[in-house]
Amino acid sequence: MNPQITTNRLLIRPYVLNDFQAWRQAYSQMLSPLNEWDIGPKKPEELTLVDFKKVLKSQKEKRLADSFYDLAVFHRTTGEIIGTVALMDVSRAVFQNAYLGYRVFNPHWKQGYGKEMVQATLKLAFTELKLHRVEAGIDPKNKRSIFLARSLGLRKEGLKKRALFLNGKWQDIVIYSVTCEDLGVKFRGDLKGMKVRLR
């Protein structure tokens, strides 16, 4: 599956080979990290066509396995890559959920792209991918990301202690979540044959 969705300004879809130049430009022209969650530019030796083909191969394999949808966010007018969004650790069966990840590249901050692309990704999750629930695990200190999640209707469900291993240590995350019903979307997945008995 190659999910795709558009908004007024953005096109969200998987990378294809013809995106190589836009990918290289986006990752080479980022500013130095502006906070502890930001990333800076990549080195030229990390931005070769061979590297990009590895990205394409890995992302395609994960999509085919229905386990991880890592999508690029393009500006519809300029063709620039604004950032990325991801639906990670997709769990089917009786769960039908995924974790949400999002990043706006720092040259494009403070233009409303974050909210626009995450809102579209939630729509994609509940329509094309037919998920029931999406969760975002956010660093409790990341106020901007928390504000974005809350502005889109995700609800705080609690703190997971030492849940994520980053920067050499186990870190806490706050869980924000939303279900399709919260956004007025009927669940479209297939639960036939999912008979679960508690013993």
Q: What is the pLDDT of residues 44-83, one digit of tens each?
A: 999 999 999 999 999 999 999 999 999 999 999 999 999 9
Q: Is the pLDDT assigned to residue 2 strictly greater than 70?
A: yes
Over residues 4-26, mean pLDDT: 97
Neighbours of 10 (CB within 10 A): 19
pLDDT range class, residue 3, cuts 50, 70, 90: very high
pTM value is 0.92
Q: Tokens 């974050």 — which residue?
A: 114
Q: Quick check: 199 pLDDT over 90?
A: no
Which residues lie closer than 8 Å to 55 by C-beta, 6 or more apart? 15, 23
Q: What pLDDT score was predicted for residue 194?
A: 61
Residue 20 confidence (pLDDT) above 80: yes
Residue 167's pLDDT band (cuts 50, 70, 90): confident
